[in-house]
């Protein structure tokens, strides 16, 4: 049997969000239609130990309302775990905060985006080399995705490959190793989750304006599901 997927939840949303749509781990469970035994939820911000790489099939690092540049103890501890698990070839997927934390942990630079934040449904563009990546073979040249972030990966780690960008964000998707990649966008979001986040931070009128006539993007959800399906039983890692 496949070992469980670790969903590493990094803090909690504001109550206005969680009361309406739940917390980060709920969104991944729903997006992947996971059942008991297929996943485990880890909360380093609550002092929980990060998982033994030999006990899981892979890990997703969630988004957060925190900032990587705050260098919270739980965040730095997770960054150290990322460095170790990448050397041990554990499949990793970072999302939003998880994307920035992976880039920071592996030698990149993270900070406020000088172009400003990105919110709502945005247009992204893949780079040509992305089509050669086994997990991204169906990635179209242009696609839409839900985004909600102020900070960005300003400089990717040495040797990392950037596979997608947007008008304001040059590092929308980064491949660090054959097993580790991360995305700034939210493949786990639905329209309701995006609206709840915007409503919490900007108010109802702004949220309604940004969400007007916005349809659910298709490719990001398929990408997330493909990542889960790619996690096969593996021999014990070195």
List, by residue number, the catalytic residues. Answer: 96, 186, 188
If DSSP codes are grouped into helix, strand and coil, which group holds residue 225?
Answer: helix
Structure tokens belonging to residue 88: 């041990």
**How far apart, in whole angstroms, are the C-alpha atoms of residue 25 and residue 43?**
10
Helix (H) or strand (E) run with residue 5 in it: strand 5-8
Strand order across the 58-61 sheet? 39-42, 5-8, 58-61, 92-95, 180-183, 173-175, 161-166, 118-126, 142-149
Evaluate whether 68 touches 151 at the Cβ level (below 8 Å): yes
Q: CB 168: neighbour CB atoms within 10 A? A: 16
Distance CA 194, CA 183 (A): 16
Q: Is 57 exposed, middle or buried (0-12, 13-18, 19+ CB in 10 A)?
A: buried
Identify the helix (H) or strand (E) that includes residue 75. Answer: helix 73-87
């Amino acid at each position: 049997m496949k070992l469980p997927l670790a969903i590493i939840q990094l803090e909690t949303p504001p109550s206005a969000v969680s009361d309406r749509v739940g917390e980060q781990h709920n969104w991944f469970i729903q997006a992947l239609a996971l059942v008991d035994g297929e996943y485990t939820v880890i909360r380093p911000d609550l002092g929980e130990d990060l998982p033994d790489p030999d006990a899981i099939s892979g890990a997703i690092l969630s988004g957060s309302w925190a900032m990587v540049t705050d260098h919270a103890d739980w965040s730095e501890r997770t960054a150290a775990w990322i460095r170790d698990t990448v050397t041990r070839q554990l499949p990793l997927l970072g999302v939003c905060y998880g994307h920035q934390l992976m880039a920071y942990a592996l030698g990149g630079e993270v900070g406020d985006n000088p172009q400003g934040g990105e919110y709502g449904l945005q247009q992204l563009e893949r780079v040509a080399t992305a089509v050669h990546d086994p997990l991204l073979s169906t990635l179209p040249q242009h696609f839409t995705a839900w985004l909600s972030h102020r900070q960005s990966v300003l400089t990717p780690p040495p040797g990392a490959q950037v596979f997608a960008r947007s008008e304001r964000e040059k590092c929308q998707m980064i491949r660090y190793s054959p097993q580790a990649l991360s995305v700034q966008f939210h493949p786990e979001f639905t329209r309701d989750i995006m609206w709840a986040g915007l409503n919490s931070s900007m108010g109802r009128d702004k949220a309604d304006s940004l969400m007007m006539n916005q349809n659910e993007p298709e490719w990001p959800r398929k990408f997330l599901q493909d990542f889960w399906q790619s996690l096969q039983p593996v021999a014990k890692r070195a």
